[in-house]
Structure 1
């Protein structure tokens, strides 16, 4: 590929991108083709001489149009996925164009400065301890891993064990405490850190999925030695918040590390209206969240936030003779995240924060919650529809005719019909539809249109 071919292929990509974005408001939300069609249309012997780059982009765009769910659609309510804001998308295009490895300062002082500023802004926005350190990771999974690695370092250091030098084998036992409603990424993070899931102490949750503080207190009283407690704000099904203030006091009394998994619920701290739900979160030792979920920036945008920066750095940092690291005032991202080679993922976050400001972000969060309440109200008008959760945030759990088969049939029908896209789940042992509202572009009309389609499908089944 020569410089002469640069403009045509980029123009081709831009035309496809703008056509896709402009069509989101009206397009079928779900995918139309599955694996067999995709493989038939995309698989070919690898060419000896290669192919025209613009033709390859045309092929990719044509198959993506029918072979993927439009997760950025304003009527996508499946998993907790936010559609990308235009300014964040534009910034992300530039990130790929600049092609910076943001691992160490010497490669890109620009990227390092952006990370430093975005970290300061995030702590202000979420009103978390300003001395906290922030690592920009891929998503919620690696955010939880990073925070819990810092937790492991801290609790073992306090009993005289250097886990980075001596490993987990032979280390003092660490009590790992999670709620029954904890997200799967907590389990996986502990697995990555060398702890099997059988070692988890699981605390009972209430009917909304909140960890029961009284049960936690009883459990902690039976434990001895280093302890890590994981709380959650924003249950992936109900959107509920664990009683973090009570949990934090229990953790403090026990000398335990408290981690808060706040993939999307932590953003409630940015809204004066919703902040009371997140009371006491600032008392924790670490927090994880995802900017792609509710700041609506592209993927690869998780944040690991740790109150105790020395523990954070000790658990993550690495060095080698060939690397030019500062270990001083200048920020080397490798000190705070698992990766060295990585894209400059803080740039879209910086762009979104600077464009929206504090008021704009609060409005973004509040609008999503208002649309969730609207969806619950519209669906709940039908006598055969049960709203299963207290709609405190952006999640709505729905059951149809109080019947598992009918509920699953409605979910499948909605996904196939295409007006909107929702996901199915299991809640308290029964099938449910899960509606997640996290897109900046979702309007009241989008919700009204989607609710009508959902109810029409339901009524057609009985």
Structure 2
């Protein structure tokens, strides 16, 4: 019997590198709480040791992994140790991290059910469980994609095609040239990724009417513009700065009665619906036509895990399905026909692992705990004299230190201190620090330690 050597001239050894990677990953996890959140200068300098030119000859996988770990691991931003508050990034649930390792080795393509029966099953279960947790119609359809930006784009494309279809225009056959014009009404606090999605869908800034917002960043229902059967309305569950949500129950019914389409960008805030304690904050969100969310934020799935949801499955399929003889299927759920990608990894398996591990009570507890941490952080900072710009909404804390210049100085000092990491933003003309608490690993002790570090940096900036 003969064999074919690999490119390095040795028998292929698939188990060795995987076992080595698992050992190194375990060591990384065990050491992460002893590190600063942002990499040290020495670690950043060591990145210069990565070869800049592609080698002519192969390098053993073990040496590649050693380089990746010894040079790369110290240069990571530690986002899974409970003290990373920059942007709205979740950590990674241990069950999901473990599932990602196993399913990565499975190497399954979820495009069609017969490509992987197990991945298809987990995708279907994760989608149905997500709808159940979020209180959305059981007849809706959820499709996993690469993030909230793509989820928003997917839903906006479905909305565009559905609105035109109901107005007698077939986009699949006629394209957009000469199509009836659509109007877009969006929150004045709309996230930039939604504007990007609109542009990709052929809807420019001139097509958008900004709906005025209040002091918490919520759309004012009493001042909401009129809509009709050619109107796409974009609302938010969880303002990216304040965490507050639009008054869905006061806006959505009238829009849908007139034939418009309501899409909700709920990248993180939609998960409030999974908590009996907090679901009133998104009351009425279930009445929308589509929703986008990110499992890698509050749910703490690994990255590349957005979810696009449409109330009417046919509306999603109209926009996303395509014809190819070798891709035809009678399956009710075929991810290749429910999103922009054809080949795609089994993202739903990681979400399934989290939901199977935590259950309904565990997801609610995660939401409640992170909201409580945000309240605790706000209390500690406010008690020390820091200005809280808006009441805490869900897991977002928005504060200012004296004035704009001091606020920026404190943000820079906190980032350099490395006890935690928080980012800056602008809110109604003023500079602010935004503290986003999304990591399942965060504890009350972490909040105490991080608040103390933030205040220490503030006092040092004041003393300059």
- Provide closer, same or farther for how the CA distance between residues 289 and 178 of structure 1 changes in structure 2, counting only shifts above 3 A: same
Q: 5 Å matches for 1:81-120?
A: 81-120=89-128
Q: Secondary structure, in 3 states, of the residue corresponding to 1:433?
A: strand
Once residues 36 and 282 of structure 1 are traced to their aligned partners in structure 2, the CA distance between those partners, rounded to angstroms, is 46
1:55 aligns with 63
- Provide closer, same or farther for how the CA distance between residues 3 and 436 of structure 1 changes in structure 2, counting only shifts above 3 A: farther
Unaligned stretches of 5+ in structure 2?
1-5
Q: Is contact 1:209–1:235 with CA below 8 Å preserved after alignment? A: yes
Q: Is contact 2:263–2:290 with CA below 8 Å preserved after alignment? A: yes
State the Cα distance separating 1:372 from its structure 2 match: 0.5
2:428 aligns with 428
Q: Secondary structure, in 3 states, of the residue corresponding to 1:15?
A: helix
Once residues 44 and 181 of structure 1 are traced to their aligned partners in structure 2, the CA distance between those partners, rounded to angstroms, is 42
State the Cα distance separating 1:5 from its structure 2 match: 3.1
Q: Is contact 2:219–2:247 with CA below 8 Å preserved after alignment? A: yes
- Provide closer, same or farther for how the CA distance between residues 171 and 126 of structure 1 changes in structure 2, counting only shifts above 3 A: same
Q: Is contact 1:410–1:457 with CA below 8 Å preserved after alignment? A: yes
2:230 aligns with 226
Once residues 344 and 190 of structure 2 are traced to their aligned partners in structure 1, the CA distance between those partners, rounded to angstroms, is 28
Q: Secondary structure, in 3 states, of the residue corresponding to 1:77?
A: coil
1:377 aligns with 379
Once residues 34 and 134 of structure 1 are traced to their aligned partners in structure 2, the CA distance between those partners, rounded to angstroms, is 45
Q: 5 Å matches for 1:29-428?
A: 29-33=37-41, 37=45, 40-216=48-224, 219-220=225-226, 226-323=230-327, 325-329=328-332, 331-383=333-385, 385-401=386-402, 403-428=403-428
State the Cα distance separating 1:190 from its structure 2 match: 0.8
Once residues 316 and 253 of structure 1 are traced to their aligned partners in structure 2, the CA distance between those partners, rounded to angstroms, is 26
Q: Is contact 2:47–2:72 with CA below 8 Å preserved after alignment? A: no
State the Cα distance separating 1:7 from its structure 2 match: 3.1
Unaligned stretches of 5+ in structure 1?
none
Q: Deviations over 1:2-61 (max 9, x none)?
A: 555333322221122111111222211012349983662213332211212111111111
Aligned residue-pair number: 454
Structure 1 position 437 matched with structure 2 position 450: no
Q: Is contact 2:182–2:207 with CA below 8 Å preserved after alignment? A: no
State the Cα distance separating 1:117 from its structure 2 match: 1.3
Q: Secondary structure, in 3 states, of the residue corresponding to 1:5?
A: coil
Once residues 123 and 256 of structure 2 are traced to their aligned partners in structure 1, the CA distance between those partners, rounded to angstroms, is 31
Q: Deviations over 1:71-130 (max 9, x none)?
A: 222100111111111110011111210111111112112211111111111111111111
Q: Secondary structure, in 3 states, of the residue corresponding to 1:460?
A: helix
Structure 1 outlier segments of 4+, above 4 Å: 1-4, 33-36
Moved more, 54-63 or 350-359: 54-63
Q: Is contact 1:176–1:200 with CA below 8 Å preserved after alignment? A: yes
Once residues 118 and 404 of structure 2 are traced to their aligned partners in structure 1, the CA distance between those partners, rounded to angstroms, is 53
2:3 aligns with none
Once residues 93 and 228 of structure 2 are traced to their aligned partners in structure 1, the CA distance between those partners, rounded to angstroms, is 48
Q: Is contact 1:173–1:225 with CA below 8 Å preserved after alignment? A: no
Once residues 422 and 78 of structure 2 are traced to their aligned partners in structure 1, the CA distance between those partners, rounded to angstroms, is 12
Give the structure-1-normalised TM-score. 0.95
Once residues 176 and 43 of structure 2 are traced to their aligned partners in structure 1, the CA distance between those partners, rounded to angstroms, is 41
